[in-house]
Structure 1
């Protein structure tokens, strides 16, 4: 009997990876690719630049000992940490607070709540739109409160201009006005982080960056330039967010590859059901 148990143990744990396999068909990308056309915060950051003098794409590169026609390509890229779809670490607005490399998986993943105000912004037909509390509050009346330990993303639809009109996207954004900032701080005080499809959540006339100076010192994250069309594919509640930043030591932020799982129950995890299924399937195959 002990021998049989040992064989089953070996079979189960040699195949346990199968129980971790994720169904990526339910994953939605919330990240824009990086390029030299990536919009950046005006007056603060320079655009991403690819240095041609330090880049190469050749089959005659002298760095290869035997220049026998082997092709090699690489690029030297210069950019600020806060470029493209990126996450702000607490140290961005808080001296001595946690930097990007110290963020844990528990801080980078969690349930995702999305408030979609795309139609409100579109119908306003304005070059710039300041969202107010009255635009956000109907969400909690319809879907209930924003749970603690979740991420709150706001879909303004402004990402439609991300590639087509970078100047409009950067200089005339949809953003959170003062009453909307108050609403977020009151109705979502214990969230893991706030995201928006703009260069910053606060409007440009909010010189105090109140969300940054309030949330980041608390250890909450801010995610900017979230992909609007990705959020369009997600429900108001029930999806699960996963962020994969660059892991920069001392980083105040980082470009991030970010995906949401449409059904939070399908997020990668080893479930009891998967373990039981694996055990009995292995046991049945052994009996054969």
Structure 2
């Protein structure tokens, strides 16, 4: 299926499901999520080292729909005005950015409503690089979570669980977004895995790719289940090789524009 067709099909599907998600939220799904989102963060016993997990957003940065995610227009200039100001226009889901629940579920939290406690949390990083090297649409599966727990201990309630697929090494190359035939191709989470993380009380998930779902997803199953449950996601994380599997604390500088479905964020980890 062509990328444009996929995007249109997903748009229609989203509209048809709005009522369902609104009823689900009213039935208490979001209330359950609130406990995880407000969980007291377990701060790392850190050395004070700060790792920037954020890509610089430019008009050339790859986006899901292929359009420039940000545009700059001069408003004031040093020569004429004595100082510099750009007028900046951007799409919410560009660069390293937040997916708020409202991105895929009407009636749920917009980005300005995310509990601040959920934006400072333990970071757990699942290494998916070996699987992704063999399959560009590899997924974090329940067994990957089980292996992480076996090696590192329990995932703290309220944590962010991030996938490190090694995809950051592809930044600047067309293969970050597409395969040789022009189809979306990048790793993501499997719904079975995020369902497990919901039960564990995880507050957010993150990926070093364009989408929480793998590139070959035809239904955005993770978006349609994780976000309506009151959780948030982070896409296009950078530098995950520079943080440990466990022990770092994540700081998410989420935007706070009223009614937003997400937006570019400055994401950092303290190790």
**TM-score, length-normalised on structure 1?**
0.69
Root-mean-square deviation (CA), in Å? 2.2
Give the paired residue count: 219
| Aligned residue in 1 for 2:127 | 116
Matches of 2:244 and 2:198, distance apart in 1: 18
Q: Paired residue for 2:186?
A: 174
Q: Which residue of 1 aligns with 2:243?
A: 234
Q: Return 5+ residue gaps in structure 2 as ranges.
A: 1-45, 180-184
Q: Is the CA contact (8 Å cut-off) linking 2:69 and 2:95 kept in structure 1?
A: no
Task: Assess, with a 3 A threshold, how the Cα gap between structure 1 residues 200 and 233 changes in structure 2: closer, same or farther.
Answer: same
Please say if 1:31 is aligned against 2:42: no
Report which stretch shifted further, 95-104 or 184-193. 184-193
- Quote how far apart the aligned CAs of 1:222 are: 0.6
Distance in 2 (CA, whole Å) between partners of 1:24 and 1:73 is: 37
- The corresponding residue for 1:201 is 212
Is the contact between residue 50 and residue 270 of structure 2 (CA under 8 Å) also seen in structure 1?
yes
The answer (yes or no) to whether the contact 2:253–2:266 under 8 Å persists in 1 is yes
Separation of aligned partners in 2, 1:55 and 1:149:
42
Tell me which residue corresponds to 2:77. 57
Structure 1 residue corresponding to 2:139, chosen from 131, 153, 164: 131
Map of 2:225 onto structure 1: 214
- State the distance in 1 between where 2:186 and 2:155 align: 22
User: What's the secondary structure of 1:237's corresponding residue?
Assistant: coil
Task: Give the drift of 1:156.
Answer: 0.4
Structure 1 position 47 matched with structure 2 position 54: no
Mark the structure with the bigger radius of gyration: 1
Instruction: Name the CA distance, whole Å, in 2 between partners of 1:147 and 1:188.
Output: 12
Task: Give the structure 2 partner of residue 281 of structure 1.
Answer: none
What do residues 235-283 of structure 1 show as CA deviations (whole Å, max 9, x unaligned)? 1111111111221111000111111111xxxxxxxxxxxxxxxxxxxxx
Shift of 1:225: 0.3
What is aligned with 1:72? Answer: 83
| Matched residue, 1:269 | none
Cα deviation digits, residues 138-164 of structure 1 (max 9, x gap) = 3233223433211100100101122x2
TM-aligned CA deviation for residue 25 of structure 1: 4.3
State which of 147, 156, 163 in structure 2 corresponds to 1:147. Answer: 156
Cα offset, 1:95, TM superposition: 0.4
Greater Cα shift, 205-214 or 252-261? 205-214
Gaps in structure 1 of 5+ consecutive residues: 1-22, 62-70, 263-288
Q: 1:140 to 1:24 in 2, by over 3 A?
A: closer
TM-score, normalization by structure 2: 0.73
